[in-house]
Amino acid sequence: MALGGETSRHGMWSSRWMFVLAAAGSAVGLGNIWRFPFIAGDNGGGAFILVYLLCIFLIGIPIMMAEVLMGREVRKSPINTLRKLVTVSKASPAWILIGWMGVAAGFFILSFYAVIAGWAMDYVLVTAQGTFVGVTGEGAAAVFNSFLESPLQLMLWQTLFMVLTVWIVARGVSGGLELAIRVLMPLLFILLIVMLGYAVTTGGFGQAAEFMFRFEWERMGVEGVLAAMGQAFFTLSLGMGAIMAYGAYVPNNASVPGTVTIIALLDTVVAIAAGLVIFSIVFANGLEPGQGPGLMFITLPLAFGQMPLGTLFGTVFFVLVSFAAVTSAISLLEPALAFLVEEYNAVRSRVAISLGVITWILGLGTVFSFNIWADVHLVGERTFFDLLDFLTNNIMLPLGGLLMGLFVGWVLPRKLLADQLEMPSLWLNIWLFLVRFVAPLGVLTVFVYTLYRAAMG
């Protein structure tokens, strides 16, 4: 029997499919549609994407299994899950720091996530008003840049997004969230397929595919390797405990390896599709792939402005992106939220509001990074937003994943792992090899390599 019993005090997913949808809801978000294309664009495409895919399959999937199994074993928040596992395996309490670092990473990420999701929400209205009908590349860029210049507007949408997120989180695991995910995720898939259909007609599709799948190593710098690994963790929601927290609500009859594989594949398909759509539009319109965070907000409106029924499709599309962001945002809050509820026997909704307020304040740093603090540079050329993004995605998440791999692979008893995963022993051994060696060494190698190359100039 599992250490934490059969059910979690926070609630349970109503079925294993609900877990797949919820975890896919966490995984599929701005990371796929907004971040993946622009990071890939900034890092030269092909080779970056190859490294990214390798990280997903060799590190991401095994670590995701590790997170789910730890969560399901103890059925508590990540910090308390680690506490319990450390106690039963008589390991050093230092491992619990993984949980604390995850809580911090969750705050940091959500603080900027809310701002970017706010852009998508604003674009629902802007697109619906027909702003982009017949727009040019420069026109679309101008709309976006003038929006960024207004801190008040950004704050308005950031606030709305945080209120929405807190409201859903406060209602609990099954009260509403399950329903929302069930309807919205399939719709998002359908719209992406529509967009892919459009992308094929733009004349830029071949070039887009080439940009994404031709592995020219010289196009990617050293930082690209680190960025690819960071993106793999970010897009699968790994390394900070979101998936561990969700794992605590997984019914016992679900197969961990099976569900995790489906989740990771869904996430990857969405990212690749989004990339193909966006780069087709980029090349068809003679734009630059390396445009930074504005990429999606300039290319997609451009396409919607040209395609038949573009205003309708565009509006619906940004609605779905906003919802995809909400279903990810709630999972960023869940580890801290569940922990505080457990520790202080606190009311879920009150904790949710307090955490929301703290995150909102931190998010102002990101809001200002695009206007009044645009010239404030921290650690190199980075704005506050760039620094937060770099620190969380390229350092904290991979480091969290590295430590989780070591903890699960070397500290937890094999019997516990075998009971949770229920895989034939050959597969169990392959998985163990991946979490014990490949994942930690992979992350470590990338860290050391990037540091070394950075030091060498």
Q: Which residue, 177 or 242, is less far from ligand PHE as judged by CB?
A: 242
Q: How far is the CB of 79 from ligand PHE (least distance, A)?
A: 16
- Where along the sequence are the contacts to ligand PHE (CB under 6 A)? 26-27, 29-32, 109, 234-235, 237, 240, 242, 328, 331-332
> Residue 351: which residues within 8 A CB-CB, separation 6 or more?
337, 340, 341
Report which residue's Cβ sits closest to ligand PHE.
31
Q: Which residue, 403 or 423, is less far from ligand PHE as judged by CB?
A: 403
Q: How far is the CB of 393 from ligand PHE (least distance, A)?
A: 8
**What value, to the nearest 5°, has the Cα angle with vertex 235 and ends 229 and 237?**
105
Q: How far is the CB of 314 from ligand PHE (least distance, A)?
A: 20
Q: How far is the CB of 122 from ligand PHE (least distance, A)?
A: 18
Q: Which residue, 23 or 307, is less far from ligand PHE as judged by CB?
A: 23
Q: How far is the CB of 128 from ligand PHE (least distance, A)?
A: 24
Q: How far is the CB of 331 from ligand PHE (least distance, A)?
A: 5
Q: Which residue, 234 or 407, is less far from ligand PHE as judged by CB?
A: 234
Q: Which residue, 29 or 118, is less far from ligand PHE as judged by CB?
A: 29
CA 139 to chain centre: 30
Rounded-to-integer distance, Cα 196 and Cα 269, Å: 12
Q: How far is the CB of 241 from ligand PHE (least distance, A)?
A: 8
Contact present, 392 and 108 (Cβ < 8 Å): yes
Q: How far is the CB of 378 from ligand PHE (least distance, A)?
A: 22
Alpha helices for 129-204 (secondary structure H): 137-148, 151-170, 177-201
- Kindly list the distances between the CA atom of residue 79 and the CA atoms of 95, 96, 340, 342, in Å, as whole numbers in the listed order: 10, 6, 10, 10
Cβ of 171: how many Cβ atoms within 10 Å?
A: 15
Q: Which residue, 108 or 373, is less far from ligand PHE as judged by CB?
A: 108
Q: Which residue, 4 or 102, is less far from ligand PHE as judged by CB?
A: 102
Length of the chain: 457
Q: Coil, helix or strand for 288?
A: coil
Number of separate helices (H) and strands (E) present in the chain = 22, 0
Rounded-to-integer distance, Cα 133 and Cα 127, Å: 9
Of 9, 69, 29, 63, nearest to 250 (Cα)?
69
- Kindly list the distances between the CA atom of residue 359 and the CA atoms of 320, 345, 356, 371, 400, in Å, as whole numbers in the listed order: 23, 22, 5, 20, 21
Q: What are phi and psi of 81, to 5 degrees?
A: -65, -45
CA 197 to chain centre: 25
Q: Which residues on adjacent β-strands are paired with residue 385? A: none
Q: How far is the CB of 135 from ligand PHE (least distance, A)?
A: 27
Q: Which residue, 26 or 420, is less far from ligand PHE as judged by CB?
A: 26
Contact present, 384 and 365 (Cβ < 8 Å): yes
Q: Which residue, 41 or 204, is less far from ligand PHE as judged by CB?
A: 41
Q: Which residue, 247 or 305, is less far from ligand PHE as judged by CB?
A: 247
Rounded-to-integer distance, Cα 328 and Cα 370, Å: 23
Q: How far is the CB of 138 from ligand PHE (least distance, A)?
A: 29
